[in-house]
Amino acid sequence: EVQLVESGGGLVQPGGPLRLSCAASGFTFSSYFIAWVRQAPVKGLEWVSEINSDSTITIYADSVKGRFTISRDNAKNTLYLQMNSLKPEDTAVYYCARWDHGAMDHWGKGTLVTVSS
């Protein structure tokens, strides 16, 4: 069974850092692109970033470019999102999702990030 489990969310002050993790199991993690997607309160889903299977390609939304860094450790089957210079508008539930054949076919349950003083 494919599973993606996010962790690392919490309350952080504006300007602070936070690192999210996504532990994967049930599939060959190293063979897939993986993405981070977020959903702010009363807003739709927003794609944040994605990374290819061997970490040679990383892509970011303009809203997080220069502040967030996506990475992965294929030996640990884990995806990361290092978030720096956080803003209140980064408050959201953050999900990791697996790309397969042009669609995000499996999602985690999400981890809540709240940026507030």
- Kind and range of the H or E run holding 81: strand 78-83
pLDDT, tens digit (0-9, with 9 covering 90-100), for 23-81: 999 999 999 999 999 999 888 999 999 999 999 999 999 999 999 999 999 999 999 99
SS3 95: strand
Q: How far is 65 from 84, CA to CA, in rounded Å?
A: 10
Q: How far is CA 86 from the centre of its chain?
A: 14
Confidence at residue 65, expressed as pLDDT on a 0 to 100 scale:
98
Confidence at residue 80, expressed as pLDDT on a 0 to 100 scale:
98
Tokens of 18: 């936070």
Q: How far is 88 from 12, CA to CA, in rounded Å?
A: 9
